[in-house]
Structure 1
Amino acid sequence: MDNAPYHSTLFERTPNQSWSKESLINFLQGKGIQSPPLAMKDQVWNIVKQNVAPKKYKLDELANEKGHRVLRLPPYHCQYNPSEMVWSECKRYYDAKISAIHPVTSDAVLGLWKEALEKVTPEKWKNYIRHTNSIIDKAWAQEQLIDASDILPVIIDTNDSDSDEDNYLTEGEESV
């Protein structure tokens, strides 16, 4: 599942560091947790971090109740979602056919969308899933090639007395 806002509704808003001190204290009090009366905001935030539950998404819980587990895509990686290819196919079909419909009524539009969805056969779904798995496998293989230990560090010697500054001075000027 992608991370669209309508897929990511939380049961409870999770506090973050931008919340006001008063809001953080109210959150703690709602959990039955007291904070020191003269605590600074960063101290209250540390208490909140220790007592905040992991995020619980409404759709994830609904899926769990039905015996399913939701896998969430990384942000901006729709290529890992086969339903995006299905949606693209349906939109292309709809766009190609809508101009031939006169008059355009809500029933005609709905009928065209149903027709577009019916064009997506189980075999096409399997192919989209196979293609998506191929993309994921390639990305994973590429990720394995990039190992942090293979990246050489950049070392800048701050004690180096050579300076490019001298290259920019005109005759008679001194560097400061």
Structure 2
Amino acid sequence: MHKKNETLPPLPPIPKKRIQIDDFDKCAIRHKIHEFYAVRKQVPTLKTLLTELKKDIGFTGSREYLRLLLHSMGFKYKKCRNQRSILKERSDIVVWRESYLDEIKEARDKNMPLVYLDETYIHTSLNHAKCWQSENEPGVSKSVSTGKRYIIVHAGGPSGFVPNALLIYNDKEKKADYHDSMNRNNFKKWVLQKLIPNLSEPTCVIMDNARYHSFQINKAPTSNDRKHIIAEWLRLNNISFPQNASKDKLVTILRRHKPEPVYEIDTILSNHGHKVIRLPPYHCDLNPIEMIWGIVKAKVATKNVSITNDAFLKLVEDSFQVFTFTNV
């Protein structure tokens, strides 16, 4: 028993749960910011962005954590650009878009099938925000939690979706073949096991530049690497350099001989007779599968009324059965 005036020792602090943010989540955040500007014609604030991310991807971080995360992703909250700078597009993006359109035209002229691929996510709690209801008919109840998050990967073109290429998995269920969020290994596994076996002829595969699409197999060192690493890379690539060269000199030689990136996925698809075309940055509007996601989710939301998890997965699968792509 403690004495009446004895001070009890303080309780140990409760450790904070570490927030896990992967490349897929970061890609979803970038898409959400783009949606605010391009679709809603609205400036996103930390408050509105936090609300949307909690609803869409189950984001559990605080407002301050989101601010620091955006900074780490290259976003800055600063004075808006003037109209003159807005009208001026980055020259490298202009060139990339022109090259993309030329490659698409060349593929069409050769009658090469076009297949676009992309990833999205969907929660089991997805349903309509509004419904017809009365005092006697409460309608649909909006879940207070986001439910399970499923990642969806698929590919399709003018002939519809690639047969048997649909992948739906929950990144928290360790028993599944795909037991991690979308990353390089899972994307590579999907390409090898579900995409390539179902492409019946040489195909032009079109994808964006997500980090897990873009693992570079010939990546050169950077100026941040140590001198001996840069020197070893130059030596392995038969690039001559002075024996006693300083690091600055080696970096200059490195930049002069830096190769064009060769991506692992592009090489795999090329070895199977397919061609890869990369979408220019900030041009998700050129990927028609982006528009399909919204239609699929709307179909799911309409029928997602008090159903089991297995029925939910069947509902998502069935929502892909009726689509054909046009004007792609």
Q: TM-score range by the shorter chain?
A: 0.5 to 0.7
Q: Which residue of 2 aligns with 1:60?
A: 266
Structure ID, larger Rg? 1
User: For residues 277 and 263 of structure 2, what CA distance do their matches in structure 1 show?
Assistant: 12
- Measured after TM superposition, the shift of residue 33 of structure 1 is 4.4
SS of alignment partner, residue 320 of structure 2: helix
- Measured after TM superposition, the shift of residue 4 of structure 1 is 0.5
- Measured after TM superposition, the shift of residue 60 of structure 1 is 1.1
Q: Which residue of 2 aligns with 1:108?
A: 311
- Measured after TM superposition, the shift of residue 81 of structure 1 is 0.7
SS of alignment partner, residue 217 of structure 2: coil
- Measured after TM superposition, the shift of residue 85 of structure 1 is 1.2
- What RMSD over aligned residues (CA atoms) do the two structures have, in Å? 2.2
Figure out how many residues of one structure are paired with residues of the other and give that number: 122
Matching residue's letter, 1:81: N
Q: Unpaired segments of 5 or more residues in structure 1?
A: 130-176
Q: Which residue of 1 aligns with 2:296?
A: 90
- Measured after TM superposition, the shift of residue 111 of structure 1 is 0.7
Q: Which residue of 1 aligns with 2:326?
A: 126
Alpha-carbon distance change, 38 to 6 in structure 1, aligned in 2, over 3 angstroms? same
Q: Which residue of 1 aligns with 2:232?
A: 26
User: For residues 73 and 51 of structure 1, what CA distance do their matches in structure 2 show?
Assistant: 25
Q: Which residue of 2 aligns with 1:139?
A: none
User: For residues 288 and 232 of structure 2, what CA distance do their matches in structure 1 show?
Assistant: 43
Contact 2:279 2:286 in 1 (8 A): yes
Q: Which residue of 2 aligns with 1:51?
A: 257
User: For residues 25 and 84 of structure 1, what CA distance do their matches in structure 2 show?
Assistant: 44
Contact 2:221 2:230 in 1 (8 A): yes
Matching residue's letter, 1:126: T
Taking structure 1 as the reference length, what is the TM-score of the superposition? 0.59
Matching residue's letter, 1:97: K
Q: Which has the higher strand share?
A: 2
Alpha-carbon distance change, 17 to 92 in structure 1, aligned in 2, over 3 angstroms? farther
User: For residues 250 and 265 of structure 2, what CA distance do their matches in structure 1 show?
Assistant: 31
Matching residue's letter, 1:58: E
- Measured after TM superposition, the shift of residue 114 of structure 1 is 0.8
Q: Which is worse superposed, 14-23 or 35-44?
A: 14-23
* Counterpart pick for 2:277 among 46, 71, 77: 71
Q: Which residue of 2 aligns with 1:173?
A: none
- Measured after TM superposition, the shift of residue 79 of structure 1 is 0.5
- Measured after TM superposition, the shift of residue 12 of structure 1 is 2.8
Matching residue's letter, 2:297: K
Q: Which residue of 1 aligns with 2:99?
A: none
Taking structure 2 as the reference length, what is the TM-score of the superposition? 0.34
Matching residue's letter, 2:319: A
Q: Which residue of 2 aligns with 1:3?
A: 209
- Measured after TM superposition, the shift of residue 34 of structure 1 is 5.3
- Measured after TM superposition, the shift of residue 95 of structure 1 is 3.0
- Measured after TM superposition, the shift of residue 32 of structure 1 is 4.6
| 2:320 is equivalent to residue 117 of structure 1 | yes
Contact 1:101 1:108 in 2 (8 A): no
Contact 2:220 2:233 in 1 (8 A): no
Alpha-carbon distance change, 95 to 41 in structure 1, aligned in 2, over 3 angstroms? farther
User: For residues 95 and 39 of structure 1, what CA distance do their matches in structure 2 show?
Assistant: 64
Matching residue's letter, 2:243: P
Q: Which has the higher helix share?
A: 1
